[in-house]
Amino acid sequence: MSKVHYVIVTHGMLAKGFADTIQLLTQKNDIHAVTAYIDDGFPENLSTLIKGFHEQDEVVVFTDLTCGSVTQKVIELYGSNEHIHVFASVNLSLILEMILYNEVPSEESINMIIEQAREQMCYLHK
């Protein structure tokens, strides 16, 4: 049976911040954070991580900016892999919903989760 792995890849330390918060809220300790451009390790650190997963496992990758260099590199490396699912310009609500789903949702459920995550953003100034 395949497993689902969750990987957050961002410019700088944002990935670690997301992972820390998710671990605090969910007690899940298997969220992988990849920090790009902090040292000279990107994208090799991402490739090493993903190579460590079983070939048939599903990998859900969250990135920070849709047109950013991190997302572009992830798509370049893994865009044709049917077991790797990439979500760009994510927020904490989207990541939490996806992780709490415990499997890769159907396309219909993914669209619902994305819409719910969009609705969580609001301007609260009066």
Structural domains of the chain ordered from first start: 4-119 (3.40.50.510)
Q: What is the mean pLDDT of residues 94-98?
A: 96
pLDDT of residue 34: 97
pLDDT of residue 40: 80
pLDDT of residue 102: 85
Asked whether the predicted pLDDT for residue 126 surpasses 90, the reply is: no
Q: What is the mean pLDDT of residues 43-72?
A: 96
Q: What is the pLDDT of residues 18-38, one digit of tens each?
A: 999 999 999 998 999 999 998
**Range 84-88 contact pairs with CB under 8 angstroms and sequence separation of 24 or more:** 84/50, 84/58, 84/59, 85/58, 85/59, 85/60, 85/61, 86/61, 87/60, 87/61, 87/62, 87/63, 87/114, 88/62, 88/63, 88/64
pLDDT of residue 24: 97
Give me the chain's average pLDDT, please: 95
How does residue 2 score in pLDDT terms, banded at 50, 70 and 90? Answer: confident
Portion of the chain with pLDDT greater than 70, in percent: 99
Asked whether the predicted pLDDT for residue 1 surpasses 70, the reply is: no
Asked whether the predicted pLDDT for residue 79 surpasses 70, the reply is: yes
Asked whether the predicted pLDDT for residue 50 surpasses 90, the reply is: yes
Cα–chain-centroid distance for residue 117? Answer: 14
